[in-house]
Structure 1
Amino acid sequence: MTTALSPAATSLPRLGQQLLPVLYQHRLVATGQLHRMLTPHAQRPVYLRGVLNQMRAMKLVECTARRAGRRGGPELLWFITPRGADIVEASREVTSRAYRISPETAASQLQEHTLAVVETGLAFSTWARALGDECGPLDWEPELVHRVRDGENRLGDDALLIPDAVLRYTRTTPTGRRLLTYFLEIDRSTMQVGRLGRKLTSYARYATYVPAPPHGRRVAAPAGAGREAWRDRYPAVPRLLIVLTGASPTVLQRRIEDLRALAAADARVRRTPQLAVGITTLEQLTDRGPFEQVVIPLLGEPTPGDVLLSAPSAS
């Protein structure tokens, strides 16, 4: 049920009003991540913590401790409550999602992957601010469902493609502005490389997938017939960026080599040139930035490039 904004909610400071949709969209965010996302010019997140505690007292947000041990003591992770989520949905500021994070999920082993997705988006938004580009706290959305059905794959997980996030970035150069869209896959070195390789096949399928008309119906050239499904959502096939983290540089390099070998052996991936795919590490993306030579192409020579990935000109 949609809840109208209460006097208490509307009395939140501007930072509190920014925090609600961010926590709704990203599900679980560390205090330090919120600081870099929303108050980067403050030396310490003192005011941010005060607003978060105010919102917690209003039962709009809740927090849990990070499971992994960290230097400097435990870190708090913040998530929105059902009351806070109702307020965000009533505002229609972000896309409504059926998923609601629970205290049990917030405290589970899913913490680190969720935080790594946020950290990847933060790398883009931090560099966008430094470079004069555009990529704000709400410009990446986690786990958007994309339907992929072809041939006999009518049901089950094989019919769906769910990237860890879809990120939109506006690049500003002397020659103009360019909208870039990315599928993000975050690999914390916990997934078998073969499973990640199978996901590459799903991305290649999506890049060429044309929805069939309903079974048994004859349709006379409807709008969109014969069009790839991605055209109804994106201006071009999103680039796929695989971001590795959670292991030593040596291990990550081996994973890059293994992924490239799997891709080279996958006929569907090889025959889908409209899907541009690159691999990088979260450390390189954060430290050097997306437009430095930090991305290894999935196919071809392993010459580092940037996140533009030498994509087709239609992108």
Structure 2
Amino acid sequence: MTTPVSPSPGLSRLGQLLLPVLYQHRLVATGQLHRMLTPHTRRPVYLRRVLQELRSLSLVECTVRRAGRLGGPELLWFVTPRGAEIVEASREVTARAYRISPETAASQLQEHTLAVVESGLAFTTWARAYGDECGPLDWEPELVHRVRDGENRIGDDALLIPDAVLRYTRVTSNGRRLLTYFLEIDRATMQVGRLGRKLTSYARYATYVPTPPPGYRPAAWATGREAWRDRYPAVPRLLVILTGASERVLRRRTEDLRALADADTRVRLTSQLTVGITTLDQLLNEGPFAPIVTPLLGDPTPRDVLLTNPGAS
């Protein structure tokens, strides 16, 4: 029998912020948490103390990243089952069935998970500089999107699972603009052809209209509208973020992806889908509204994450 967990166990304000962040993003480095939640402090002294307090309450646990962002070892944090219960009771974030274990936290999935966090954190950091809005909980990893009907069919072509879905509010003199992105993080470990097949899945989702299960009358089931309309105001832009290799290798990977897309009729003809390619270093160092994004199709002139034509208003 599970012992009931109080949703408010006397945690500090920072502790209350840390739990949902760790729950949603699964595995986060100390330095990432510092830039995410306490960027106003020069060193994460208080952050480390709060993390250790949460650990003493058995709400979070940590593992070691042998080669951290600055070259040395770094602690990586995740919620325990007890910590997850508290977050779910608070209903602050979407409840997820997935639980990270100490074994998973120390596995080869570690670097990919951290790269996804780093990509979302780049948007959050630059949003502060721009005066835009994108907080620590404004990107969600691995949200499932169905792209195939049938009798409970499963497989790579039945579900679309972006590495993250990110929401960003751009604030300018012309007003506020809500932007939504599918983020696909590529660490140059996947065969480029496989990444190309994922592009096909995104194109399929952009035009996917659900059909009724066997035995249901179409008139009583479907409206003939695309599935994305029930989740998003528009088809999210897809941003492929490359990392994990030299600039030369990533440039060649960009060229290969563009060639694959141009040869894929479905991707080439799906006008609802807008795709751009950049690198994590460019996103971190120059920001999303610098000309750092190469369109997947057409003119390769770099643009910003809006992916509008250069010079367009």
Query: In which range does the TM-score fall when normalised by the shorter chain?
Result: over 0.9
The answer to whether the 8 A contact 2:258-2:297 is kept is: yes
Q: Which runs of 5+ in 1 are unaligned?
A: none
Secondary structure at the aligned position of 1:77 is classed as strand
Task: Note the C-alpha offset of 1:116.
Answer: 0.2
Secondary structure at the aligned position of 1:167 is classed as strand
The answer to whether the 8 A contact 1:3-1:87 is kept is: no
* Distance in 2, Cα, partners of 1:138 & 1:107: 24
Corresponding residue number in structure 2 for 1:106 = 105
* Distance in 2, Cα, partners of 1:180 & 1:172: 11
The answer to whether the 8 A contact 2:66-2:72 is kept is: no
Letter in 2 for 1:309: L
* Distance in 2, Cα, partners of 1:93 & 1:70: 30
| Change in 2 beyond 3 A, CA 1:155/1:291 | same
Corresponding residue number in structure 1 for 2:295 = 297
Question: Given the two structures, how large is their TM-score scaled by the length of structure 2?
Answer: 0.95
Corresponding residue number in structure 1 for 2:6 = 5
Residue 250 of structure 2 corresponds to residue 252 of structure 1: yes
Residue 238 of structure 2 corresponds to residue 237 of structure 1: no
Q: Which runs of 5+ in 2 are unaligned?
A: none
Secondary structure at the aligned position of 1:235 is classed as coil
**Structure 2 counterparts to residues 1-315 of structure 1, below 5 A:** 3-5=4-6, 9-68=8-67, 71=70, 73-149=72-148, 154-220=153-219, 225-310=223-308
* Distance in 2, Cα, partners of 1:74 & 1:149: 43
Task: Note the C-alpha offset of 1:230.
Answer: 0.2
| Change in 2 beyond 3 A, CA 1:210/1:2 | farther
* Distance in 2, Cα, partners of 1:73 & 1:302: 38
* Distance in 1, Cα, partners of 2:254 & 2:101: 34
Identical columns (%): 80
Letter in 2 for 1:242: V
Secondary structure at the aligned position of 1:73 is classed as coil
**Superposed CA RMSD:** 1.8
Question: Given the two structures, how large is their TM-score scaled by the length of structure 1?
Answer: 0.94
| Change in 2 beyond 3 A, CA 1:242/1:2 | farther
The answer to whether the 8 A contact 2:160-2:202 is kept is: yes
Which structure 1 residue ranges, 4+ long, deviate > 4 Å from structure 2?
A: 69-72, 150-153
Task: Note the C-alpha offset of 1:213.
Answer: 1.3
The answer to whether the 8 A contact 1:2-1:87 is kept is: no
Secondary structure at the aligned position of 1:158 is classed as coil
Secondary structure at the aligned position of 1:250 is classed as helix
| Change in 2 beyond 3 A, CA 1:72/1:272 | closer
Output one character per residue of 1:249-306: Cα deviation in whole Å (capped at 9) or x when no partner. 0000000000000000000001101100000000000100000100000000100000
Aligned length: 308
* Distance in 1, Cα, partners of 2:205 & 2:301: 26
* Distance in 1, Cα, partners of 2:101 & 2:240: 28
